[in-house]
A = this chain, B = another copy of it.
């Protein structure tokens, strides 16, 4: 019997936002078609997966009724800590693929396994000899990096910064020093309700001629991006829509 494949299925970036972009505007037809025919899913959250599949079904009939789909959630511990440490054995989740059915992996927004859980499932699939196929879709980190005009030949994504004020300032100085010395653009994110505090900390901590770029609400109608030296950010104080998902980039 042939094994099924593991498809990495991107989700739109409007998760948790008040407005949504029409799905076909940001998601290729090829991705929508594959997602519509899968009978088994592994996901970050079953409820948001069903909501996404409902949006898909408005463009392309699902091969299986929503109620008939196998939807398995990743354990909550995997979300919280990230699952790249390699302690979680995801192989049992892939049973349907071992039995010949294609499986989808999906997170709440963007690409699974990037700034989101899922990498343990991908590793398990490779260990089981399953074919892994990543599908195209909106990728917030790359949309933000391109929009920043910062160095795209050498960049790093470092996740979240510390919440404690002192540790956060120290980490910001560390990232700035790395960016200025090596030319490597540094990307990071924050939960939306902490975005304003992070921007304030960045403007207080960074040097005036360091370049800072923000992209808020990528792919949404209200999408907003700005890239300028820190001195210009301080002078102009633009009203960025920081309640939307935001990617921060700094560099020289």
Interface positions of A (Cβ within 8 A of B): 8, 21-22, 24-30, 82, 84, 111-116, 118-127, 131-134, 136-139, 141-159, 183-184, 213, 215, 218-219, 223, 225-228
Looking at the complex, which one of B111, B122, B148, B226 makes contact with A149 (CB distance below 8 Å)?
A: B122
A81–chain B nearest beta-carbon distance, Å: 10
Question: DSSP class of A's interface residues: helix, strand, loop or mixed?
Answer: mixed
B146 near A118 (CB under 8 angstroms)? yes
Looking at the complex, which one of B150, B152, B157, B228 makes contact with A116 (CB distance below 8 Å)?
A: B152
Looking at the complex, which one of B28, B125, B136 makes contact with A143 (CB distance below 8 Å)?
A: B136
User: Could you write out 19 A-B pairs with CB less than 8 Å apart?
Assistant: A22-B30, A24-B30, A82-B153, A84-B153, A111-B142, A113-B152, A114-B142, A114-B146, A119-B148, A122-B147, A126-B226, A131-B225, A134-B142, A134-B147, A134-B215, A139-B142, A142-B142, A154-B159, A156-B184
